Amino acid sequence: MMASFFDQFASPSYLGIPLIAIAIALPWVLYPTPSSRWINNRLITAQEWFINRSTNQLMLPLSVEGHKWALLLTSLMIFLITINMLGLLPYTFTPTTQLSLNMGFAVPLWLATVIIGMRNQPTVALGHLLPEGTPILLIPVLIIIETISLFIRPLALGVRLTANLTAGHLLIQLIATAVFVLLPMMPTVAILTAAVLFLLTLLEVAVAMIQAYVFVLLLSLYLQENT
């Protein structure tokens, strides 16, 4: 029984062909195409408002040099939100529960921010490894600690997104299983459990959106340190 709870996180395949590529490509089909008309429908207007507000919030702490990343960061955030929300539908697969996929997003983008900092301002980028006023005896230890914390950043990005979504999906499946088991024996308890399941589903919707935003926000903060 316990093994079946984790079957939902296995990458699906059909005739030996992994379907994760379809799950990743599907969100781009769902986005409405903006038109050149002055008056758009409500869906496109809401989409444009959400994108503009999100971009303004992400670019607020960045310098003008970092605004070149606006398109990439906003697209990544919308993409992650869509994947996370689609993964809440029944009989669907959530690609962002795979640590390999999240690390594939986190490592190249984090590395790009580090390379930008080393290229544009190497003194400032290396200065982050040693706080000002550090005693001489602590310099080697602090450099090692700051270097380790620097390389842990992409791992923290990927693990945070994977762990939050995986935990939410497991809780939903466990409580849903409890509802079906309790329904014939204790209907009242099953109804109360179903209410808890509904509230947890709403919480998971919020988590799916917040975690995508936090992922991109942390990337923007890393970019701020290096621009």
- Give yes or no for residue 107 having a pLDDT over 90: yes
Cβ neighbours for 133, distance < 8 A, ≥ 6 positions apart: none
Positive/negative CA dihedral, 154, 155, 160, 166: positive
Rounded Cα–Cα distance for residues 170 and 192 (Å): 19
What's the gap between Cα 163 and its chain centre?
A: 10
Mean pLDDT score of the chain: 83
Q: What is the mean pLDDT of residues 181-201?
A: 88
The answer to whether the beta carbons of residues 200 and 128 sit under 8 Å apart is no
More confident call, 151 vs 39 = 151
What does the pLDDT look like over 9-65, one tens digit per residue? 667 777 777 777 777 877 777 776 666 776 677 777 888 888 888 888 888 878 888
Rounded Cα–Cα distance for residues 113 and 119 (Å): 10
Token pair of 197, please?
């399941």
- Give yes or no for residue 2 having a pLDDT over 60: no
Rounded Cα–Cα distance for residues 170 and 167 (Å): 5
- What is the phi-psi region of residue 15: left when phi exceeds 0, alpha when psi lies from -120 to 50, beta otherwise? left
What's the gap between Cα 149 and its chain centre?
A: 20
CA distances from 50 to 18, 39, 43, 46, 136 (A): 33, 17, 11, 6, 50
Radius of gyration of the chain (CA): 22
The answer to whether the beta carbons of residues 95 and 24 sit under 8 Å apart is yes
- Give yes or no for residue 86 having a pLDDT over 50: yes
Band the pLDDT of 174: cuts 50, 70, 90. confident
Positive/negative CA dihedral, 19, 94, 45, 60: negative
The whole-number pLDDT of residue 59 equals 85
Rounded Cα–Cα distance for residues 171 and 211 (Å): 17
Rounded Cα–Cα distance for residues 73 and 185 (Å): 50
Task: Give φ, ψ of 17 to 5 degrees.
Answer: -100, 120
At residue 12, the 3 state secondary structure works out as: coil
Query: Both ends of the chain: CA-CA distance in Å?
Result: 51
